[in-house]
Structure 1
Amino acid sequence: MAHPFNKALNYLSSKKYDKALAIFKKLWKETPYKEIALNMGSAYRGLSDFDNALKYYLEANAADLPYTDNTFSETYPKALNNLGLLAYTYENDVVACDLYAKALEVEPQYWDALWNYSQALGRRYCSNKYDRPALVWEMMESRFHRGDAGVKLKNKKKDLILWDYITKVDSIVVLTEQGFGDHLQFGRYLSILEKFADKIWVQCADRAAVFYSKYNTCSDPLETDATHGVAFCNLARLCSDIPSGDWLKDKYVQKLPNGILDIGVTWSGNSAHGNDAYRSSKPGYFKQLSECGTLYTLNPTEVGTKGFIGLDSSGWDATIRELGKLDFVVCVDTSIAHLCGSLGMKCYCIMPLYDSDYRWGDSSMGTSNVWYDSVRVIRNNGSWEQAIKDCIQLIKYENS
């Protein structure tokens, strides 16, 4: 069984879900085991067949189904974790949290389960349904322990001390991590960090230095005199409230109304993103926005698409200048939404088909979110067509 099972796992990891499922089905008929049921569920989930995914995750967790080594257990942590992911898909975050907690009771250092737990709990916090943000941020530090899927801080300075969030220090470096949107989201906390350090360095790529002109920038802590370091997203631990999101508003000059709506759009993000299959859309849907105004694309990979005028996105400074020529932006959940929010520019951010990020809260928040006053959130119930229609309706209402 080992060879075809491993082959199916390779198909699964490369997102060839149909091929993986064909093998898993054959193996399931021959010798049903927990591991087969679990991975069948994941293949179905990859194909957006959530009913069958649920069926096989429940099968995997059944006490009377053996593992491949013919042992039994009352609960299967991986099955509980994946059931939690399904609950998260349906915004059943209380159920998801309960499932992750049960998985962690069996396997306390199950870092993926703890990370997923933090996302469900984080979405509850961002939906005004949970009031212990300190625990959310603490749990999110599990991102550093998730093996190949985990966050790796880039630091060649061996004597750099991880900061304790309390001690006043002479010089500190904020360490880059995760996606660029995270840096914009948590950049609002840099002004609070000033109370704890006389000198602040921000580790970033040269093209992003435009956002941190108030601070010193570096590519690695080795280039700095910093004695302490702190991960970028951990800055949220500095206070219990969420500071104003428009921390870059001084860099933005708003377009003066001229009777014509100039609309920036971005329908796709980084293809390597874990949820890109549900997050990125197609230009055909976004072309419908032309009934509201003239469309401009902000993504360099989208320039040349018929129906959209390309803008200069050669760097973030150029992007900011181009944003000043627009009335607002309509985009999927990419860094552009965070940039608009950080600048205080109006933006309509359309959620993924499924599995919206914790930071935007759940559907009970409507078009609101707790991070950016200028960003309207367009909820997606599994249909790009409907989401675009909802967006157009809101645009016409707010800009008539």
Structure 2
Amino acid sequence: MISIDANSQSAAAHARRGGELLAAGDAPGAEAAFQLALQSDPDHVFALANLAWMREREGLPEAAESYYLRALAQSPDDVHLLQNLGALLMQLRRPVEAERIDRRVLALAPDLPSAWSNLGALLAALQRETQAERCYRHAIALDDSYLNARYNLSYLLLRQGRFPEGWRMLEARPQPTAFGAYFRFPRWQGESLAGKSVLICPEAGMGDMLLLCRYASVLRQRGASRVSILCHAPLKTLLQTLRDIDGVIAIGEAVPDDGWDCWVPVLSLPGLSGTTLETIPCSTAYLRAQTPAVQDWAARLPPARLRVGLAWKGNAQFENDDARSLAALDALAPLGAVEGAQFVSLQKGAGEDETCAALPLVAGGAALADMADTAALIANLDLVISVDTAVAHLAGALGKPCWLLLPDYLPDWRWLAGRLDSPWYPAMRLFRQPSIGGWQPLIGQVADALAREAAEKAVRTDRPG
């Protein structure tokens, strides 16, 4: 018979090997090692905790929760395990349980900055923003260098329109380090640009670049002699229509490591430019669709009194995509009852092939090679209705009327709090999901508004002279 001590030693060895394999990037090997550890000791906390983390990364939150609970049964006061479980429960939209876990962590470790920041993030998601801000500021008071609390606080401040401090806090965000390591010229820190050349570099998704590429004109106004942009490949052709831009380079193309005076990450531009809520650089349209492509789409689309573009899904990798995207095109079925409206799909990638019998669509997605193609299609529309994805930013940058559908849970800071308009995009109207009821009541409001729009368009079209 194998002794308990021998089993423990075997479990420890397997678990240690699993940790080494996981650190080396060998997930299958790590999985096998951790399972061997559990065969020897079903209650091995290190193996259970790592398997929980792995299940989270695999998109299996229920399995992850089960492993966390097994580990906590053996180590109920493990702060790290409790924090992970609290974050998972928040992801699963179980805020009452998540708050109970987060407050238990604070009881065990009241001077832990991450515990205060995590509770703040939960309270902010529940729109208890005053309490959330106190949590963030307490975390920063405990450790002024704790970046997560500063980054979390930036979202809250920016959503409230408190831009000056919000931009400063936003500098705590995870930032790309490759540019600074690669370029042989410095990052712009806000100093004079008189006679200098600047390269704007991308961060995050295409929406941010579409929103903030307008700052090329601001850099020119500050004296820059040359402004170039490095961008996502699908944006290259479109961004060449940007006023005050000298060059556009797509990610994946050869980028010289010299030739500019400074570079700047795109999300730093508003703060370095001193942008306040009142001084957002705003014009009706700062990007243009190219005429040949616009004419090509005009020839493809059937005649219609009111053409409406639809985008109902964003990038599934986005942290809040399950809240901001619609589960399926069927959710927009009530729009199909609006007389005189023709619907055109702007969906590319996820959801592109979806159909809805109550909402016949003119297909667009398969023919859209890049954002310049999408811009040309949008130019032929009267209105765009979109969830919070790059299509909405594109419509806004083109000056096309856009109705943006926003979730109640963690709406992005770019749309501010409580507003039904956007100071970033004059032609945009915001529709906000109610705190209860999900998307259905909001889409009912959109359908009513669209019916009024179609009726008004019919009157304008039929009016003599």
Query: Are 1:27 and 2:71 matched, yes or no?
Result: yes
1:93-242 superposed matches below 5 A: 93-125=129-161, 130=162, 133-143=163-173, 146=174, 150-154=175-179, 157-167=182-192, 168-195=194-221, 196-209=223-236, 210-213=238-241, 214-219=245-250, 221-222=255-256, 225-236=259-270, 237-240=272-275, 241-242=279-280
Q: Distance in 2 between matches of 1:169 and 1:112?
A: 37
1:67-86 superposed matches below 5 A: 73-86=109-122
Q: Distance in 2 between matches of 1:161 and 1:76?
A: 35
Q: Distance in 2 between matches of 1:259 and 1:332?
A: 23
Query: Are 1:296 and 2:344 matched, yes or no?
Result: yes
Residue type of the alignment partner of 1:238: S
Offset from partner CA, 1:146-190 (integer Å, 9 cap, x none): 3xxx44454675321112323124321111222111111112221
Q: Distance in 2 between matches of 1:259 and 1:296?
A: 11
The aligned length equals: 376
Partner of 2:381: 326
- Please, which of 244, 250, 266 is the counterpart of residue 311 of structure 2? 266
Q: Aligned-pair distance for 1:250?
A: 4.7
Q: Aligned-pair distance for 1:204?
A: 1.9
Q: Distance in 2 between matches of 1:37 and 1:308?
A: 48
Q: Distance in 1 between matches of 2:406 and 2:332?
A: 14
Q: Which structure's relative contact order is higher, taking Cα pairs within 8 Å and 6+ residues apart? A: 1
- Do the aligned partners of 1:93 and 1:121 also contact (CA within 8 Å) in 2? no
Calculate the aligned-residue CA RMSD, in Å. Answer: 2.4
Partner of 1:336: 391
Gaps of 5+ in 2: 1-44, 456-465
Q: TM-score, normalised by structure 1?
A: 0.86
2:110 alignment partner, SS class: coil
1:202 alignment partner, SS class: strand
Partner of 2:84: 39
Taking a change above 3 Å as real, the CA distance of residues 38 and 304 of structure 1, as seen in their structure-2 partners, is closer
Query: Are 1:88 and 2:115 matched, yes or no?
Result: no
Gaps of 5+ in 1: 66-72
- Do the aligned partners of 2:105 and 2:115 also contact (CA within 8 Å) in 1? yes
Taking a change above 3 Å as real, the CA distance of residues 169 and 163 of structure 1, as seen in their structure-2 partners, is farther
- Do the aligned partners of 2:184 and 2:257 also contact (CA within 8 Å) in 1? no
Q: Which moved more, 1:330-339 or 1:24-33?
A: 24-33
2:196 alignment partner, SS class: strand
Q: Aligned-pair distance for 1:206?
A: 4.4
Taking a change above 3 Å as real, the CA distance of residues 4 and 300 of structure 1, as seen in their structure-2 partners, is same
Q: Aligned-pair distance for 1:74?
A: 2.5
Q: Aligned-pair distance for 1:223?
A: 6.4
Q: Aligned-pair distance for 1:191?
A: 0.8
1:308-319 superposed matches below 5 A: 308-311=361-364, 312-319=367-374
Taking a change above 3 Å as real, the CA distance of residues 303 and 28 of structure 1, as seen in their structure-2 partners, is closer
Q: Aligned-pair distance for 1:267?
A: 0.9
Query: Are 1:375 and 2:428 matched, yes or no?
Result: yes
Offset from partner CA, 1:53-102 (integer Å, 9 cap, x none): 1111111111xx3xxxxxxx323322221211112212222322221111
Residue identity (%): 22
Query: Are 1:60 and 2:105 matched, yes or no?
Result: yes
Structure number with bigger Rg:
2
Taking a change above 3 Å as real, the CA distance of residues 355 and 396 of structure 1, as seen in their structure-2 partners, is same
Q: Which moved more, 1:52-61 or 1:198-207?
A: 198-207
Q: Distance in 2 between matches of 1:11 and 1:111?
A: 26
Taking a change above 3 Å as real, the CA distance of residues 5 and 182 of structure 1, as seen in their structure-2 partners, is same
Residue type of the alignment partner of 2:426: D
Q: Aligned-pair distance for 1:205?
A: 3.8
Taking a change above 3 Å as real, the CA distance of residues 15 and 81 of structure 1, as seen in their structure-2 partners, is farther
Q: Distance in 1 between matches of 2:247 and 2:343?
A: 37
Q: TM-score, normalised by structure 2?
A: 0.75
2:225 alignment partner, SS class: strand
2:384 alignment partner, SS class: strand
Taking a change above 3 Å as real, the CA distance of residues 39 and 164 of structure 1, as seen in their structure-2 partners, is closer
Offset from partner CA, 1:277-334 (integer Å, 9 cap, x none): 2122121102322123222211222333223221132122211111122111111100
1:142 alignment partner, SS class: coil
Q: Aligned-pair distance for 1:117?
A: 0.9
Taking a change above 3 Å as real, the CA distance of residues 116 and 27 of structure 1, as seen in their structure-2 partners, is same
1:74 alignment partner, SS class: coil
Q: Distance in 1 between matches of 2:374 and 2:144?
A: 45
- Do the aligned partners of 1:348 and 1:378 also contact (CA within 8 Å) in 2? yes
2:48 alignment partner, SS class: helix
Offset from partner CA, 1:231-250 (integer Å, 9 cap, x none): 11222121431011534255
Partner of 1:68: none
